[in-house]
Each structure stands twice: as structure tokens, then as C-alpha cells.
Amino acid sequence: MRAAFIGLGYVGLTTAICMASRGMEVSGYDVDGGRMESLRRGELPILEPGLDSLFEGARSRGTISFPGSAEEAVRGADAVFITVGTPSRGDGSIDLSHVVSAARSIGRAMRSDSRYRVIVVKSTVVPGTTMGPVRSALEGESGMSCCRDFGLAMNPEFLREGSAVEDTLSPDRIVIGESDPRAGDLLLDLYGELHGSAMPPVLRTTPENAELIKYANNAFLAIKVSFANMFARLCSRIPGADVDVVMRGIGMDRRIGPSFLNAGMAWGGSCFPKDLRAIAAFARGMGVRLDLVEAALEMNSRGPSEVADVLEGELGGLRGRVIAVLGASFKPGTDDARESPAIWLAGELGRRGAIVRVCDPAARAQGIEVIRDPGRCLEGADAAVLATEWDQFRDLAPGDFLRMRGRVVVDTRRVYDPGRFGAAGVRLIQLGRGAPREQPIVRRSPGLRGHGAVPIGAVIAEYCR
């Protein structure tokens, strides 16, 4: 079978290459001319483990191509995937202009190639988009009718950056929101060719349900991470408490599971922030308030400020202080710094007058110089924050931090050994871990360990009273 992809961002490119690696004929087009030229030269514009070798194999077999127009890419395809971006507007609502533009391009291509095909919306879109604006654009440009001359489907993606190849080739499930059974059958045949005997469970439903499944899935996972982050703040105040142990304990419950309970400063990336904002804005327009989603967004926005509060309290102010932020990508294993908590933290520190250095082995961030060498980043700094747990940062020893002018390290991912750091004379503050019981514990505000100490024994006594 032949597949075409309009939009070669993270989702479109990964899915296209994975399909081509299994022998399917795949063509791809993107409006970014520079990206198209790079791909024709065999250069991947994204960092994703395992994708480069699959790309090289597909190119050598001639199963993937990058033509000069959307019309050329669509011609002869059995399935055409819309995999363009759906950014947020200023009010958090979704911007569907790229999706509608892609649908129009596909519709124009269908005028000269009237074979039956299924158009598949894989971009994350709010309910009603597939059978509303997308269908209208396709029918208007092609002069053809949905459910008669072509099929339409919403097929959400569930890819994790850093594990996208595995998630594409071995997914938990496939969701097909079909305009009619013929469209669903054709898309199912395509996935049958991709997965063969390892076909995952398939849910066939309406396009509206498929659109909602994607948002509900991301909202649930983001809320789960927020839950862990919330308890990390509490554990930081309690002698002997460790959020990793608490989350491991609840994750052993089969109803909860261990995934997405690794607490940190905040969650970020290209999906969770924009998708939660989009579905919250959509629901408000429908007269419904998604209270848990709104709360997760609000709590998440506070995370970087709370870490900045910690540093401000420890250093007695941030103006003129040099802070080394270890990490720029929103998670290790990717060069993606979109909506990264590390970048949010750098911005917050800068607004408070700090001089910020950002270190990352792969990511680039617009408007920020990213240092590749951790030693250079730490040299002469007043404090450091481990924001993204790259292996290069995990491997740093206490002695590496002694080159700093100050001796304060905030570890938001709890990767360092408190005993080793303490013995070396480094003040290690770990998000989600209370001080050992034998030390006097205080409750501080603002933030996790700022000014305004109150003995925790007094807090507990007042609570018990």
C-alpha cells in the first residue's frame, strides 16, 4: 500500500519512516523548504533514537521519497495523513489553520486523481474538526463527496519523544475514528500491512470520539504527573520522606501503575501544555469547565517559580547571581525544548535579575545560548539546578560542582547522592526529599526552602490539636 504524509514534523516524519522501513511506499511533503532539502540529502532534522538507521534503510531501498509539492505526494496514495502542527492561540485555543491548509492541498490533488482513498487526520484536533472544517475543505477543493468518493478518518497518535519508534512499531492500541466503514476498513488494511501478525488491539469509533480520546489521554497523563509533583512539594517538608518511595508504593497498585509518577519541577514538551490548554478552552466554549485540567495547568505553571524561590532564599537574592541550569530539553533523549520547564526556569531567574547559563548536550532554545560543556557552565556559578536528567548530568560528581563559586545545587530529579555531596561540602537540595530525621526540620516559605522558618514539630502539634 502507498501512504502520503502532509507535514513532516515529529509525528509525521517518524510515522512515515517507520512505515517505509516495513516496505510500504511512502511520500512526504512539508512547506518548510529547508527541511525538505535536508531530508532529500538524508539528514534528519529531529533527534529520535533508532530513527536514523530506519531512515537510511528506507532510502537505500527507495521506499521513501520527498516530492516537490503536496499534490505530487498525494498522487497515487491509498491513505493520506495530515500530520501538521496545531499550535495554541493567545487564549490557549487551538489554531487549525495548518490543518485546513493541508486539507485544501490534498483536495486540489484529488481533482486529477479521483481514485478512492482515505484521508487521515493524525494531528491533534478538537472534536468536530475532522467532519467539520477538514471535510469541508476536502470537498470544496476536490468537488468530491466524503463517504462516497473518498473516506475520512481521525487516527490519533500516542508517541513519546525518545521512544517514538517503539511506539509506532509496537503501539498499545490503534484508534480509528471513521467517517464510514469503508474508510475504516482501508485504514485497517494499511495498519495490517505495517504490523502483520503483531497487530495491536484496534478501537473503531466515530471521529469525534477519536478526537476526544487523544485529549483525554494526554490530560490524564499530565494530571498523573501533576499528582506526583504535588506530593513532591509535601515530601520536601517532611523528615525522612521521599516522593520516589511514595510513588513506587502507590504504583504497585494495579489500578494505578508506576508510569508517569516520576516527580519533577513541571511537565512540558510539544503536546501536554498546548493540548491541555486547547481542550480546556474548547470545553469552556461549550459551557463546561474541566476543573482537573485547569488545576493541573495552574499548578504546572508554578513549578519553575517555586524552584526560583528556593534559590532566592538560599542565596539571599538573585540579582547578579550566576545560576547554571543543567538541561534545556523538556526531557532527556530529545533535542526538543518546546515548552521546557528548564527554559521556563531560566526565564524566571532572568526576570529576577540572575545571570543564567543553560547547558544541554543536544537541545537548542530560541534566544538562549546553550552551552554543551557542563564544566564550562558550572565554572564560577553561585548555584546550579539539575532540570533535565541527561546521563551527562547524572554522571557529574560532587567535585565537579566545587568549581562553582557557591556550593548550592538544586536537584529537581533526585539523581545525586546526598551523602556524597554533603561530605564534599556541597549544599544539595532535592525536590521531593525531606531532610534526614536527625536534622532539625523547618517549614519554610516562599517556595520549598525559602525564608520564614517554622519548626515542623510546631506545625504537627497545631494540626493534632
| C-alpha cell, 131 | 467532519
- For the question of residue 147 being annotated catalytic, the response is no
Count helices and strands (H / E) in the chain: 18, 16
347, 407 in Cβ contact below 8 A?
no
Give the Cα separation of 260 and 251 in Å (integer).
10
Catalytic pick among 271, 359, 377, 464: 271
Q: How far apart are CA 438 and CA 30, in angstroms?
A: 60
User: Secondary structure of the chain: what % helix, strand, coil (to 5)?
Assistant: 45, 15, 40
The dihedral over CA atoms of 406, 412, 414, 418, expressed in degrees to the nearest 10, equals 20
Alpha carbon 142 to chain centroid distance?
35
- Contact between 432 and 310 under an 8 Å Cβ cutoff? The reply is no
Helix (H) or strand (E) holding 82: strand 79-82
Positions of E strands within 302-438 = 322-326, 355-359, 370-371, 383-386, 408-411, 427-430
CA distance 289 to 281: 9
Q: Which three cell numbers stand for residue 206?
A: 466515530
Q: Other C-beta atoms within 10 Å of 99: how many? A: 26
**Which residues are identified as catalytic?**
271
